[in-house]
């Protein structure tokens, strides 16, 4: 807990001046032990999320994982995102899931989706040791708070339960940060700047939000223009190389999918309330059930804590804030502003904030405890303060981990496991149309051998892309391209599976509804309101 401990070197010694440790457990330093324990907690919470929710691993839990994993399956079967079907995210997640997509030739898409979920759990848990590596030179306290908050942050745990982009986005951003930063400073190494930029660039190919830490690091590189240029060159390479083949194949559709459908203007878009966003951003388990007063009080406490510790660290240490601290704080602020500004917001967005908020909380505390001059606080008192801070942080994080585990044990409102009736009724290889392709993926009825079967993986994204930002509720069905798409899709389908929210995704028109009624018959309704239709004259198994 002394000042020298906060300057732990790469081998775990204090200031690198301690005698080299020998033996089999030389690597088991306090810093490494904290990283290991918090990583295991992170992994346990994310796996527990799967284990305590019936049907989560092999069933239907989300809408977004269908397009993300489905795009990889389509790619390995020879269909190109953007050219052959709409995908409203950059192709990074498609490329990451493609090895698992290849496995679906052996496992089927149901087990393939499950494997993709397990791999995403590992990616989410990997953010903890990476965050620890980024701050390990600042000592045990900084590592405990950074890794602990990253491990138990509620929406980060939830986002890792299936194939979503946020765990992968965080993973590559942290890889880039670990490479770019040399302790508290941006590295002067050409190789590290370029390769760190490449990691951030690929993060941008997963989700465009990576531009936030990229802009912050670029600004921190100034006035060293050469460093900034090397970093930006790496970012450009990391983004362009994976995206370019898709852009060449379908430049117009790539633009409509990524810009028009994803970040462009949406007519009459409903705005998610600020209070709901704040409940997710603060990262506490079960915060959605908190009252308005409790949420605002919690936000105020966190804000004051950050401001007070940063100001106190500057006054007590009499040193300017290190570059790493500026990176964490600026990135946190910009991400929060980004989350508060647009109309759209979903719970898993907040997972991107977790490691940066964790560092913003941890780094000024570590400076206060470790870097206070002897004239301000005696070494013995400093050690005592350090131990108290370490103990308090540990108790709080253990409490949060327990609260998160209790929160996860509650039954979720999801479709869950696919009913056996659907799998018995629909033969493998049939042409199945659905408003939520995670249903057909989980049922292993996603891949069709019927000529002309629609390749759609994202019904809502398709509406947005073809209508310049309209949803079914805001008039997408009146756009000729959208109406033609759905008419063509239903005309080729042998089976149709509709969820209870299908009217949010399918641009129903009177002729389309009439076509369904005239050509299909409903043969099954599941307890979770999945509706199965079979084309009239089609043999039912």
Range of the domain at 487: 420-535
- The answer to whether residues 424 and 403 belong to one domain is no
Query: Within this chain, do residues 312 and 442 fall inside the same structural domain, yes or no?
Result: no
In a domain, 331, yes or no: yes
Query: What does the pLDDT average to over 152-164?
Result: 92
Q: Is the pLDDT of residue 280 over 50?
A: yes
**50 vs 272: CA distance, rounded Å:** 27
Q: Taking Cα atoms as reference points, which of 213, 271, 205 lies closest to residue 238?
A: 205
Whether 64 is in a domain gets the answer yes
Distance CA 64, CA 207 (A): 13
**Domain tally for the chain?**
2
Residue 1 in any domain: the answer is: no
Instruction: Work out the average pLDDT over 422-427.
Output: 92
Separation between Cα atoms, residue 67 and residue 86, nearest integer Å: 9
Residue finishing a domain among 408, 438, 471? 408
Q: 296 and 231 share a domain?
A: yes
Q: Is residue 384 part of a domain?
A: yes
The string of pLDDT tens digits covering residues 482-518 is 999 999 999 999 999 999 999 999 999 999 999 999 9
> Is the domain of 313 the same as that of 357?
yes
- Residue 494 belongs to a domain: yes
- What is the average per-residue pLDDT within 6-18? 38
pLDDT for res 405:
72
Q: Is the pLDDT of residue 231 over 70?
A: yes
Q: Look at 65-79, 162-176, 253-267, 301-315 and tell me which has the smallest mean pLDDT.
A: 253-267
Q: What is the pTM of this model?
A: 0.90
Range of weakest confidence among 149-153, 251-255, 521-525 = 251-255
21 within a domain of the structure (yes/no): no
- φ/ψ (deg, to 5) at 525: -135, 120
Does residue 299 register a pLDDT over 70? yes
pLDDT at 19: 41
Residue 115, pLDDT > 60, answer yes
pLDDT, residue 269, reads 65
Residue pLDDT, tens place only, 375-411: 566 566 556 666 676 777 778 777 777 777 777 666 5
Of 103 and 370, which is predicted with more confidence?
103
Interval 208-220 mean pLDDT:
96
Q: Pick from 408, 441, 475: which residue ends a domain?
A: 408
pLDDT confidence of residue 181:
96
Which pLDDT belongs to residue 81? Answer: 94
Mean pLDDT of all residues in 206-223: 94
Residue 379 and residue 496 in one domain: no
Specify the pLDDT at position 442: 94
191 pLDDT higher than 90:
yes
Residues 324 and 249 in one domain: yes
Q: Is residue 10 part of a domain?
A: no
The burial of 46, by beta-carbon neighbours within 10 Å (0-12 exposed, 13-18 middle, 19 or more buried), is given as buried
Per-residue confidence (pLDDT) for residue 65, from 0 to 100: 94
* pLDDT at 375 (0 to 100): 54
CA-closest candidate to residue 442, choices 70, 106, 51, 89:
70
Provide the pLDDT for residue 332. Answer: 96
Kindly state whether residues 360 and 428 are assigned to the same domain.
no
If asked whether residues 426 and 402 sit together in one domain, one would say no
Predicted pLDDT of residue 6: 39
Mean pLDDT of 35-43: 92
Give domain status of residue 329, yes or no.
Answer: yes
C-alpha 23: how far from chain center: 39
Whole-number pLDDT of residue 284: 85
Q: What is the DSSP string of 319-378?
A: SPPPHHHHHHHHHHHHHHHHHHSSS---GGGGGGTHHHHHHHHHHHHHHHHHH--TTTS-
Do 110 and 53 belong together in one domain?
yes
* pLDDT tens per residue, range 82-98: 999 999 999 999 999 99
Q: What is the pLDDT of residue 317?
A: 80
**CA 355 to CA 149: how far, in whole Å?**
7
Single out the residue in 380, 408, 436 at which a domain terminates.
408
Q: How confident is the model at residue 366 (pLDDT cuts 50, 70, 90)?
A: confident
Q: Which of 45-54, 251-260, 362-371, 383-392 has the lowest mean pLDDT?
A: 383-392
Distance (Å, whole) CA 147 – CA 129? 7
Please indicate, yes or no, whether residues 352 and 454 belong to a single structural domain of this protein: no
Q: Which of 242, 235, 216, 419 is nearest to 327 (CA)?
A: 216
Instruction: Provide the pLDDT for residue 540.
Output: 62
The residues, any chain, with a CB within 8 Å of residue 334's CB and separated by 6 or more, are: 212, 215, 216
340 and 448 in a single domain? The answer is: no
164 and 260, same domain (yes or no): yes
Look at residue 376 in the predicted model and tell me its pLDDT: 60
């Amino acid at each position: 807990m002394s000042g020298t401990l906060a300057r732990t070197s790469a081998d775990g010694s204090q200031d690198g001046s301690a005698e080299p440790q020998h033996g089999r457990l030389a690597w088991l330093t306090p810093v490494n032990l904290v990283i290991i324990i918090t990583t295991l907690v992170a992994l346990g919470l994310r796996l527990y999320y799967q284990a305590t929710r019936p049907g989560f691993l092999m069933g239907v839990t989300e809408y977004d994982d269908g397009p993300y994993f489905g795009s990889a399956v389509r790619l390995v079967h020879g269909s190109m995102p953007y050219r052959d079907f709409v995908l409203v995210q950059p192709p990074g997640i498609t490329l990451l899931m493609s090895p698992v997509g290849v496995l679906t030739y052996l496992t089927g898409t149901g087990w393939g989706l499950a494997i993709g979920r397990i791999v995403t759990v590992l990616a989410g848990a990997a953010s903890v040791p990476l965050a620890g590596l980024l701050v390990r030179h600042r000592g045990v306290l900084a590592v405990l708070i950074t890794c602990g908050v990253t491990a138990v942050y509620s929406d980060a745990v939830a986002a890792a339960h299936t194939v979503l982009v946020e765990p992968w986005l965080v993973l590559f951003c942290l890889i880039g940060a670990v490479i770019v930063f040399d302790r508290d400073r941006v590295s002067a190494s050409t190789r590290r700047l370029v390769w760190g930029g490449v990691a951030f660039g690929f993060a941008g190919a997963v989700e465009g939000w990576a531009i936030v830490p990229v802009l912050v690091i670029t600004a921190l590189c100034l006035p060293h223009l050469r460093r900034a240029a090397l970093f930006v060159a790496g970012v450009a390479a990391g983004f362009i190389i994976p995206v370019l083949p898709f852009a060449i194949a379908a430049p117009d559709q790539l633009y409509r999918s990524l810009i028009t459908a994803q970040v462009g203007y949406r007519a009459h878009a409903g705005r998610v309330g600020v209070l709901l966003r704040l409940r997710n951003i603060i990262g506490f388990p079960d915060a959605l059930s908190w009252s308005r007063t409790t949420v605002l009080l919690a936000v105020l406490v966190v804000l004051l804590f950050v401001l007070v510790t940063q100001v106190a660290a500057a006054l007590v240490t009499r040193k300017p804030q290190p570059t790493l601290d500026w990176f964490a704080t600026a990135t946190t602020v910009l991400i929060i502003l980004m989350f508060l500004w647009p109309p759209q917001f979903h719970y898993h967005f907040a997972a991107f904030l977790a490691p940066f908020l964790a560092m913003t909380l941890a780094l000024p505390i570590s400076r206060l405890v470790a870097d206070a001059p002897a004239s301000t606080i005696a070494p013995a008192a400093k050690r005592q303060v350090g131990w108290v801070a370490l103990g308090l942080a540990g108790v709080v994080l253990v409490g949060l981990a327990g609260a998160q585990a209790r929160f996860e044990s509650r039954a979720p409102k999801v479709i869950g496991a696919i009913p056996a009736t659907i799998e018995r009724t629909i033969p493998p290889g049939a042409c199945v149309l659905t408003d939520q392709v995670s249903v057909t993926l989980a049922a292993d009825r996603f891949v069709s051998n019927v000529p002309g079967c629609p390749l759609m993986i994202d019904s809502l994204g398709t509406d947005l892309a073809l209508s310049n930002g309209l949803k079914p509720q805001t008039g997408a069905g009146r756009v000729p391209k959208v109406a033609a798409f759905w008419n063509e899709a239903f005309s080729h389908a042998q089976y149709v599976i509709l969820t209870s929210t299908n009217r949010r995704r399918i641009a129903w028109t009177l002729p389309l509804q009439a076509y369904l009624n005239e050509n299909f018959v409903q043969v099954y309704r599941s307890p979770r309101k999945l509706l199965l239709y079979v084309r009239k004259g089609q043999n039912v198994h």
